[in-house]
Amino acid sequence: MTRTEVKNKINKIIDRLPDRSLEAIYEILRKAEEKKLQNLESNLSKILKEDSELLQRLAR
């Protein structure tokens, strides 16, 4: 399925859900996005640290 098809199917389901369920789903998605961003930042920091150490060793 394409991204658009998936989003359309999700929207159809969301349109039928009660508000309480929508809030729960929103919190799950928000936390997943937050965790993804934290992992990205953590991985980027790790890469930069490792590259810095490698460059320092090569300079010696």
Q: Kindly report whether the global pTM for this prediction surpasses the value 0.75.
A: no
Please answer whether residues 26 and 34 qualify as being in contact, where contact means their C-beta atoms are separated by less than 8 angstroms.
no
How is residue 1 written in tokens? 């399925």
Residue whose structure tokens are 């809030």 = 23
pLDDT in tens, 7-34: 999 999 999 989 888 899 999 999 999 9
Is residue 50 over pLDDT 90?
no
Q: φ and ψ at 18, to 5 degrees?
A: -70, 160
Q: Taking CA 36 as the corner, what is the angle to CA 32 and CA 37, rounded to the nearest 5 degrees?
A: 120
Measured between alpha carbons, how far is 60 from 47 in angstroms, rounded to an integer?
20
